[in-house]
Structure 1
Amino acid sequence: MSVRTSIKHFRCISSFSFSRSLSSQIQIQKHETQHQQHQQQDPYSLLKQDPIQILLSLWVKTFSSPTSISFPNLTGFLSKLDLWVLAYQRASAHVTGTFPPRSALHYQTLNSLLSLQNAVVRSGFRWHHKTHQLLRSPNDPPLTRPLSNTKLKAIIQSNDPCFQDRVVQEVLLMVLEPVFEPRFSAKSHAFRPGRSAHTVIRTIRSSFAGYLWFLKGDLSELLDYVHCDVILNCVEKAVKDRKILNLIKSALKGSIGNRIRSDDSNSDFDRKTKKRKGATKKKILNENEPKPDPYWLRTFFNFAPEEAAKVPSYGHCGILSPLLANVCLNELDQMMEEKIVEYFRPNKLDSIWKDSISDGSHNSAWPEFVPSSGSEKTRKMDYIRYGGHFLIGIRGPREDAVQIRKEIIEFCERNLGIRLDVVKVEIEHITRGIQFLDHIICRRVIYPTLRYTASGGKIVSEKGVGTMLSVTASLQHCIRRFRRLELVKGDKDPEPLPCNPMLYSSQAHTNAQMNKFLETMADWYRYADNRKKIVSFCAYVIRSSLAKLYAARYRLKSRAKVYRIATRDLSRPLRESSNNSAPEYSDLLRMGIVDAIEGVQFAHMSSIPSCDYTPFPKNWVPDHERMLCEYIRLQDPKFFCDLHRSIKRQCLGLPQDEISEIVWDYKTLGVWRYRSNDGTETKDDSEKTEGAI
């Protein structure tokens, strides 16, 4: 027997012996945990605070503190059972689809949460430890007997994350997100609350007008893998708590163990579970198994842009990975903000930027008149990032763009540990059009008529030359996505094809599904200049595809016959010509047997909404950050002291002072009037008595 085969047999024997011993270990651990639970404190006595108030105080503290201050002790938040209950509720909502109320949690669940909390606080928690789960998923059936070796082996070899890992990730996310959000740059828009791809497009429309050269960078490889030391060095600048750092470090290093798997065991397992070609089996979902996404949502996800298609996943960090990716890329954001300030050189002849770097907050619907080329032209730069992709606009020569690209490549290699090729950071001119988030950024030259009053009161009209930034949706990208979904024939021949996945659905259900898809597409292209055109094309493809589907289902042979019966929006019912004895649709609808058929939306161009040109503020912040800053400002006593001092300085009266003066005058005048009336009454009574005598 060779050495290789002996080692292979030794691996198999050791794995089976290990799986056999797991059942006995589970029994021992079960008795140990039960003994520890009797010694633990009652979990109901630890539920004293509202977790929302705890998190609110943390958000207020982090936003009111300077960004240079680090947080050395965050373990106190991990010791609050209320946060763990909220994390369990959020994790259960992700698994089961329902958010369980706090009062519906069983005593055994709270006890398990308390055990998991103690394991994390006492540094006894291990990620992806499937053989020793302190907290089980609400979908898992209760264990009444030891698991067999086959089930244990399947559990160990599966890559499905543990439910208790998800709960720990939720707690870490709730604690770390308020710490890093005030430190993040306003140029970052991905994986952050209150920001989205729409805010990126609106920022580009309002702030990127007048730029000539654009740098489009791709850092998506950083979303796949980052060295553990790079992430920890970035996290340690804000968090000094060793327990949380060790917890993140162990989660990051857990990915190495998942990657190292036996090739022989994988091949054997794949060989056993490999299905025969052509064998199809319908899958029956369990009661607690998550249901698949509806067809319209899966179709829309296929239209996801390249910049938003990848979500970071580091080791066992799970939902914590996007936050850690932003923590690392925030170093690049801070560097680019410094470069923007250094590069800015204004020119007073420029109609967009004159004196300060904060200028340029203009209405993008109006043209910008720029000076002719020359050495005195304005030098300005702007930067925006969405996930692992960034866009830099430069108003200056191409040599400056080449120099900035070189500095970015050196910074990423030195600080982030990734080597970028020149192809990953492309330099493009505005005249060629820059595609970002499936929108094309280009410049349109227009010739508006300028009217002004000359000397002598004469009105003069002249033709001017101006440029206007245009953000349009990419029609070619939309056609390619439809081709991948097999809804059109080809990229150059957008002939609609029948929507085969909805073959066995009713007409009402099919129209409702496609209406949701069209509404979502219309909202996605909300800020595109050609919104009407792109949404009209999507509606044409969907409507024609459904017409071909209905023609095949109801044996009508052509789209024209379908439109003749069901009208242009396919709102009238269709039925097979062979089944003439079937009851009318109106009778079935009145009896509640069938659903009402709604027509396919956007059948006419007039029903499609226009582009949203609402001005976007230059220093825009999300609503929750604005409310937090306002709340912190109102809680500061200095604010009211300064307000009172300014009112006194301007000789203005407070409403409270005016009301108090009115009340005091009313009281004093009322007393004097009462006394005067009492005196007159006594005088009149004395005169009457004297007259009677």
Structure 2
Amino acid sequence: MRPLGIASSKDKIVQKALLTILTPLFENVFLDSSYGFRPNRSCHSALKTIYYEWRGIKWFVECDFVSCFDKISHPIVLSIFNNYLDDYWTSNLLNRFLKKGYIHFGNLIDSCLELKMGTPQGSITSPLICNILLHELDCFMAKYINKYSNFAAKDRGASEEYNKSKRYMGTEWEPVWKKVRELTHKNVSGAKLRAALRTIRKLDAAARGVRYYQEDSEMKKVQYIRYADDFIIGLISDKKFALKTLSAVSLFSDSLGMQLNLEKSGVKHYEKGTLFLGFKIYGDYGFNVKWRKNKDGHSQRVGDVVLKFGIPLERLFERYADRGFFQKV
């Protein structure tokens, strides 16, 4: 566990002064994809960005560092710092704060007078140091997004199913598929029902003049957001590309001296969802669909590709059970 460092009053004043000077300098450097320990960029700001900008996500790439603050490499973070601010005395002062150890009064043998790695818990400068280091990850992901994101609905051709379904509109087939919806037996398996609903929705979309677009494995969209040392990636792609993205992030993290926790990192489908900042984020596309007229007078679906936010009940129940509030069966 990272030791809790309680600095002296003089040290706190110097650290706060250093933070006051460096914060506006690095605010001009940090990207919009990073949140946490930054002015007006709280966890709610990050969640709002996901809600309003992450549309139609199919895969989540979950990433979790192994003891991020404990593993921060002093030479690497100082090298990054010097790239943005070439000032010997400021760099030297930051280096002294990084190396500053602690005294364990309850067990003097456990004391560490000079840290070789990581930052002490409770240090005023630790959050900024973390953001300076992981800014390199933000830049890497920005380049990755520019390289692979080529998603544009207007460039995709209409699906064969759309073209076929148009010929049935206004014929005896139209009341048939409506009746299927009404007469679906309650014992029909969920998988079959979802498949039928997908077909019905596509036919319904064709009737309203709304195009469904064919799936194209070459079409990709990458979204990325980071809150301090916690970050996720959202993808419109196939699973193979999602795994490739996880591998790329893992390799780049190694170059920063960071290591991904393989047990807590992985790829999740949108229906299963992911956990981020205390919320379960998942997709429930196709239900509660609303319609509106676009500028051409055609009906357009809205609201069916927006991610939903829920409470991770399973995780909460497990924690309560571990604390003795519930009994596991």
Q: With the length of structure 1 as denominator, give the TM-score of the two structures.
A: 0.34
In structure 1, the residue matched to 2:253 is 412
Give the direction of change, closer, same or farther, for the CA distance of 1:434–1:252 in structure 2 (3 Å limit): same
Shift in alpha-carbon separation, 1:380–1:179, aligned structure 2, 3 A: same
By how many angstroms is 1:315 displaced? 4.4
Please state if 1:196 is matched with 2:11: no
Percent of aligned pairs with the same amino acid? 25
Instruction: Report the AA paired with residue 133 of structure 2.
Output: C
Pick one of 474, 494, 500 that aligns with 2:312: 474
Q: 1:438 aligns with which of 278, 287, 292?
A: 278
Residue 183 of structure 1 aligns to a residue whose secondary structure is coil
Alpha-carbon deviations, 1:306-359, whole Å to 9, x = none? xxxxxx9714981011001100000000110111111121333489xxxxxxxx
Match of 2:153 among 348, 356, 360: 348
One-letter amino acid of the structure 2 residue matched with residue 476 of structure 1: E
The structure with the greater share of residues assigned to strand is: 2
State the Cα distance separating 1:460 from its structure 2 match: 11
- Assess if the C-alpha contact under 8 Å between 1:350 and 1:377 holds in 2: no
What stretches of structure 1 of length at least 5 have no aligned partner?
Answer: 1-157, 268-311, 352-367, 453-458, 493-693
* 1:496 match: none
CA separation of 1:336 and 1:371: change in aligned 2, threshold 3 A:
farther
How many Å separate the matches in 2 of 1:325 and 1:463?
42
**Residue 132 (structure 2) pairs with residue 327 (structure 1):** yes
Q: 1:460 to 1:233 in 2, by over 3 A?
A: closer
Which amino acid counterpart does residue 244 of structure 2 have in structure 1?
A: Q
Cα distance between partner residues in 1 of 2:122 and 2:73: 14
Larger relative contact order (CA 8 Å, sep ≥ 6): 2
How many pairs are equivalent?
A: 265
> 8 Å contact 2:119–2:126 — kept in the other structure?
yes
Cα distance in structure 2, aligned partners of 1:229 and 1:159: 21
How far residue 159 of structure 1 moved from its aligned partner, in angstroms, is 6.5
Cα distance in 2, alignment partners of residues 427 and 224 from structure 1: 25
Distance 1:460 1:170 in 2: 58
Deviation at 1:193, TM superposition (A): 1.2
- Tell me which of 46, 56, 61 is aligned to 1:215: 61
- Within a 5 Å distance, the mapping from 1:604-619 to structure 2 comes to none
Asked if the contact 2:73/2:118 (under 8 Å) is kept, the reply is no
Residues of 2 paired with 1:470 and 1:217: CA distance? 20
2:241 matched to which residue of 1?
400
Alpha-carbon separation, structure 1, partners of 2:224 and 2:292: 36
Gap change, CA 1:370 and 1:185, over 3 Å in 2? farther
What do residues 43-86 of structure 1 show as CA deviations (whole Å, max 9, x unaligned)? xxxxxxxxxxxxxxxxxxxxxxxxxxxxxxxxxxxxxxxxxxxx
- Between the aligned partners of 1:319 and 1:233, the Cα distance in structure 2 is 20
Partner Cα distance (1:238, 1:461) in 2: 51
Distance 1:316 1:442, change over 3 A: closer
Partner of 2:222: 381
Equivalent in the alignment of 1:272:
none
2:222 alignment partner, SS class: strand
Decide whether aligned partners of structure 1 residues 313 and 463 sit closer, same or farther in structure 2, where only a CA change above 3 A counts. Answer: closer
Whole-Å separation in 1 of the counterparts to 2:214 and 2:239: 13
> Partners in 2 of 1:464 and 1:253 — Cα distance?
54
Amino acid at match of 1:428: K
- Structure 2, unpaired ranges of 5+: 111-116, 157-204
Normalised TM-score (structure 2): 0.69
Shift in CA distance, 349/419, structure 1 to aligned 2, threshold 3 Å: same
What per-residue deviation string (whole Å, max 9, x for no partner) do you get for residues 236-284 of structure 1? 01111111111111221223xx379997x559xxxxxxxxxxxxxxxxx
2:97 is the counterpart of 1:251: yes
Give yes or no for the alignment of 1:425 onto 2:265: yes
Q: Structure 1 residues 372, 440: CA separation in 2 closer, same or farther (over 3 Å shift)?
A: farther
User: Which residue of 33, 39, 46 maps to 1:187?
Assistant: 33
Pairing partner for 1:174 from 20, 33, 37: 20
